[in-house]
Amino acid sequence: MSSNPVAETVASLMPRAQAELTELVAFKSVADFDQFPKSESEGAARWVADALRAEGFEDVALLDTPDGTQSVYGYLPGPEGAKTVLLYAHYDVQPPLDEASWSTPPFELTERDGRWYGRGAADCKGGVIMHLLALRALKANGGVPVHVKVIAEGSEEMGTGGLERYAEEHPELLEADTVVIGDAGNFRVGLPTVTSTLRGMTLVRVQIDTLEGNLHSGQFGGAAPDALGALIRVLDSLRAEDGSTTVDGLTGESSWQGLQYEDEQFRQDAKVLDGVELIGSGTVADRIWARPAVTVLGIDCPPVVGATPSVQASARALVSLRVPPGVDAAEATKLLQAHVESHTPWGARVRTEQIGQGQAFRADTTSPAYQAMTDAMTVAYPGQEMQYAGQGGSIPLCNTLAALYPHAEILLIGLSEPEAQIHAVNESVSPQELERLSVAEALFLRNYAAS
């Protein structure tokens, strides 16, 4: 890689990148202001705004989004008539969980075993630094050949949708020819990967009632309909014998054509206990990227400690359904609700309530932007070919941008490979990935400008 001037520049900037990421990670910017001071998030937002101003960005603004957080916006004009690229990252982070379980303090970037540890190092403060590195490398080698908009979100991890609503209210602000979302990751360290699909999701609350009140299980059990038993029956109906998701009317046969995920590797990544089988059918990639998946997130019923010998009158559960690209999330919600209602036994009363929903996303991988990224990744990762992976999770902003700007091409890259352990304790980033992906992004912008 070193024979490339852009790569040489990025390599020379890595000590500065480490110092900046250290500053940014030090902010406890969790967008849950019951747990963490709002001033920490505001400090991180100001840091990003100052960094953009220092790079010559205009119109730098702290946008007050409807969920009470701030997103940072800036615009860097390019040559006249050039295309516009929107670069996205988020500066908010997941809570550190049990701080005592971290090997080093979560808000102090610490170098260990060739990785940099700290909350947000990969997800997604590292993404902010990646965008800065790419732009600096271009400025040092002939200039930035496109108009660049940067948006750094302040509440992505909370899912409160502030930036989505702000974008819908100000649709001209984030308009671009292509969007690079720096919040995904390579399939493995050293394997350049673009995430080309995201599953959507729906959340449904299920309430079952059978009696006016709880009854003595000795006196009434055996004839009195048990709401908890009815709920267990309903939840069990959502899975086939092999654990595949079975929602009446929802197809579960799609297959994944891109990069494959070996069973043993998945078992290792998911930390599946010895002797426990994986669920579902088809390849692992089919199951986690191309097919629906139901998960029971919680059940309200008496805890084991303190339970009395009673027939339960009421029970409730929260059910999540991940829906693959090609399936409308609203339609999937209706099918899930109808399934629950039709599989409720004994004439028990059932109520379903939808409490959240996001659409799936599929990129057009034949577009000029994808070709530009493929060529860039090949240079940044010598000897490797860019791979297409799916992601089982959802990034609602992708769908908002796709709906607002149907002609824009959306690419997902980033630093969250499996070893990064994002959302867990001891999150870390590979500095080699940060370096290579910054080179790839810089070369992408140059390729895309010329396409």
Residues in the chain: 451
Q: Compute the half-sphere exposure of residue 311: CA atoms within 13 Å on the CB side of its CA.
A: 19
Catalytic one of 156, 157, 435, 441: 156
Asked if 201 contacts 323 with a C-beta cutoff of 8 angstroms, the reply is yes
CB atoms near residue 42 (< 10 Å) = 16
Catalytic one of 20, 40, 55, 92: 92
67 catalytically annotated: no
157 catalytically annotated: no
Asked if 358 contacts 396 with a C-beta cutoff of 8 angstroms, the reply is yes
3-state secondary structure the chain: CCCCHHHHHHHHHHHHHHHHHHHHHCCCCCCCCCCCCHHHHHHHHHHHHHHHHHCCCEEEEEEECCCCCEEEEEEECCCCCCCEEEEEEECCCCCCCCHHHCCCCCCCCEEECCEEECCCCCCCHHHHHHHHHHHHHHHCCCCCCCEEEEEEECCHHHCCCHHHHHHHHCCCCCCCCEEEECCCECCECCECEEEEEECEEEEEEEEEECCCCCEEHHHHCCCCCCHHHHHHHHHHCCECCCCCECCCCCCCCCCCCCCCCCHHHHHHHHCCCCCCCCCCCCCHHHHHHHCCEEEEEEEECCCCCCCCCEECCEEEEEEEEEECCCCCHHHHHHHHHHHHHHCCHHHCEEEEEEEEEECCEECCCCCHHHHHHHHHHHHHCCCCCCEEEEECCCCHHHHHHHHHCCCCEEEECCECCHHHCCCCCCCEECHHHHHHHHHHHHHHHHHHHHC
Active-site residue numbers? 92, 156
